């Protein structure tokens, strides 16, 4: 079979992978090409991949162990009854909310957040809705002024699952501190590591300063210059690097159905300070 192809979809983030069949095992060469592309483009997309859960799990396991969601009962997605590390993300007329409607990094409240997420959509709304936005945190960091980069370097921030997940459940959500500027362990590139979904405050500075700076950073992260919008088709897959990408789901398709399955890959270490 011809070598896999990598086609960038925007200048800063996202690439489509071609010449690959995820129903079949991958070669070591293919896996290392995908790893290189993931760290570089932050999110990889695959089209027309009608995989079952076994192939989905096998694909994820080329990159690490499978991760179990730390959100417990407080999430819009639900665990697969047989494989708790797989989450069913089914939304329809009866849904009160969907997963990921605010810009975020998946489970940054965890001491070791998941390294990556792999989402496979099986039912797509008929009206063209249900896109997902992705943003590059490398580009968001690079665009800061040298003064702001210097100020943020060495700071840590608190990430609290209570900010994002449902209140009033029995689940005790994690709370962790992570560097505001982190280094990607594969590429060595610096990135901005705070997110609207879970970051509550910058540590060791007054709350007023923290609120103002985080307010600026959240807005900065959401600048369309370093984001892209992915339009799903049936059996599309998005594989995002949860260290250098943030994402946001768009719920513009109610009362239509959108249905997918996601597995996540465990992180191997906490975010590395720059």
Ligand X SMILES: O=C(O)CCC(=O)C(=O)O
For residue 161, state whether it binds Fe ion (rule: CB under 5 A).
Answer: no
127 is an active site residue? no
Residue 136, binding choice from ligand X, Fe ion, none, Cβ under 5 to 8 Å by partner class: none
The reply to whether 119 sits near ligand X by the rule CB under 6 A is yes
Residue 89 contact among ligand X, Fe ion, none, beta carbon within 5 to 8 Å by kind: ligand X
Do residues 12 and 136 make contact, with C-beta atoms less than 8 angstroms apart?
yes
Q: Is-contact 52 75, C-beta < 8 A?
A: no
Contact between 100 and Fe ion (CB under 5 A)? Answer: yes
Residue 48 is a catalytic residue: no
Catalytic entry in 69, 104, 178, 201: 104
Exactly one of 15, 137, 182, 249 binds ligand X (CB under 6 A); that residue is 249
193 versus 210: smaller Cβ distance to ligand X: 193
Residue 262 falls in the annotated catalytic set: yes
Q: What are phi and psi of 113, to 5 degrees?
A: -65, 155
Report the nearest approach of Fe ion to the CB of residue 67 (Å).
12
133 binds ligand X (CB under 6 A): no
Are the beta carbons of 250 and 128 closer than 8 angstroms?
A: no
- Write the DSSP symbol of residue 104: B
Place of tokens 């949860």: 242
Q: Angle at CA 37, nearest 5°, toward 270 and 148? A: 55
Scanning 3-11, 99-107, 143-151, 204-212 for contacts with ligand X by CB under 6 A, the matching segment is 99-107
- Select from 174, 176, 137 the least CA-distant residue to 159: 176
Angle at 162 between CA 194 and CA 64, to 5 degrees: 60
Q: Is 106 a catalytic residue?
A: yes
**Nearest-angstrom CA–CA distance, 219 and 198:** 15
Count residues binding ligand X (CB under 6 A).
10
Q: Which positions lie near Fe ion, rule CB under 5 A?
A: 100, 106
Q: Which positions lie near ligand X, rule CB under 6 A?
A: 89, 99-100, 106, 117, 119, 132, 247, 249, 262
């Amino acid at each position: 079979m011809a070598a896999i192809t990598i086609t960038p979809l925007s200048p800063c983030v996202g690439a489509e992978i071609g010449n690959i069949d995820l129903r079949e095992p991958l070669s070591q060469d293919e896996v290392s090409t995908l790893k290189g592309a993931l760290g570089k483009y932050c999110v990889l997309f695959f089209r027309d991949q009608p995989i079952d859960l076994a192939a989905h799990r096998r694909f994820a396991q080329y990159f690490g162990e499978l991760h179990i969601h730390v959100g417990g009962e407080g999430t819009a997605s639900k665990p697969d009854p047989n494989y708790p590390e797989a989450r069913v993300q089914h939304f329809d007329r009866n849904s009160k909310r969907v997963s990921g409607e605010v810009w975020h990094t998946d489970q940054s409240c965890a001491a070791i957040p998941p390294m990556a997420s792999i989402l496979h959509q099986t039912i797509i709304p008929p009206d063209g809705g249900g896109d997902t936005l992705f943003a590059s945190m490398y580009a968001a960091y690079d665009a800061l002024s040298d003064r702001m980069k210097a100020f943020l370097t060495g700071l840590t921030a608190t990430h609290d699952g209570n900010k994002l997940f449902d209140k009033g459940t029995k689940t005790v959500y994690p709370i962790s501190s992570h560097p505001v500027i982190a280094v990607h362990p594969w590429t060595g590139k610096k990135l901005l590591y705070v997110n609207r979904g879970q970051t509550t405050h910058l540590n060791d500075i007054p709350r007023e300063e923290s609120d103002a700076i985080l307010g600026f950073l959240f807005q900065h992260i959401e600048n369309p210059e370093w984001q892209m919008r992915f339009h799903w088709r049936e059996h599309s897959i998005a594989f995002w690097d949860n260290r250098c990408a943030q994402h946001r789901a768009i719920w513009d398709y109610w009362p239509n159905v959108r249905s997918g399955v996601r597995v996540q890959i465990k992180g191997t270490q906490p975010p590395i300070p720059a």
